[in-house]
Amino acid sequence: MNTNLKREIKSFVLRSRMTLSQRLSHEQFWPLFGIEPPLNMLNFEELYQRSAPTILEIGFGMGGSLVELAEKNPEINFLGIEVHKPGIGALLFSIQEKQLSNLKVICGDAKEWLNQHIADHSLAAILLFFPDPWPKRRQQKRRIVQTPFVDLVQRKLEASGYFHLATDVMSYADHMRDVMSKHQGFGIINTAGISLNLIRPKTKFEQKGERLGHTITDLIYRKTI
On whether residue 8 sits in a domain, the answer given is: no
The parent domain of residue 168 ranges over 20-33+43-223
On whether residue 87 sits in a domain, the answer given is: yes
Q: Which one, of 213, 34, 63, lies nearest residue 129 by Cα?
A: 63
- Integer Cα distance of 218 and 191 in angstroms: 8
Q: How confident is the model at residue 1 (pLDDT cuts 50, 70, 90)?
A: very low
Residue 12 has a pLDDT of 46
Q: Which residues are registered as beta bridge partners of 165?
A: 128, 219
On whether residue 15 sits in a domain, the answer given is: no
CATH code at 72?
3.40.50.150
pLDDT of 70-117, one tens digit each?
999 999 999 999 999 999 999 999 999 999 999 999 999 999 999 999
Is position 132 annotated as part of the catalytic site? yes
pLDDT average, residue stretch 190-198 = 69
Task: Return the sign of the alpha-carbon dihedral for residues 156, 162, 166, 171.
Answer: positive
Residue 9 has a pLDDT of 58
pLDDT of 15-44, one tens digit each?
567 788 778 878 899 999 999 999 999 999
Question: Hey, how many other C-beta atoms are within 10 angstroms of the C-beta on 124?
Answer: 16
Q: For the chain, how many structural domains are there in total?
A: 1
Q: Which of 90-94, 133-137, 182-186 has the lowest mean pLDDT?
A: 133-137
Alpha helices for 74-186 (secondary structure H): 85-98, 110-117, 147-156, 170-181
On whether residue 1 sits in a domain, the answer given is: no
Spot the catalytic one: 120, 132, 151, 168.
132
On whether residue 198 sits in a domain, the answer given is: yes
On whether residue 11 sits in a domain, the answer given is: no
Q: How confident is the model at residue 195 (pLDDT cuts 50, 70, 90)?
A: low
On whether residue 2 sits in a domain, the answer given is: no
Q: Is pLDDT of 225 > 70?
A: yes
Residue 4 has a pLDDT of 39
Distances (CA, A) of 71 to 35, 95, 99: 20, 10, 10
On whether residue 14 sits in a domain, the answer given is: no
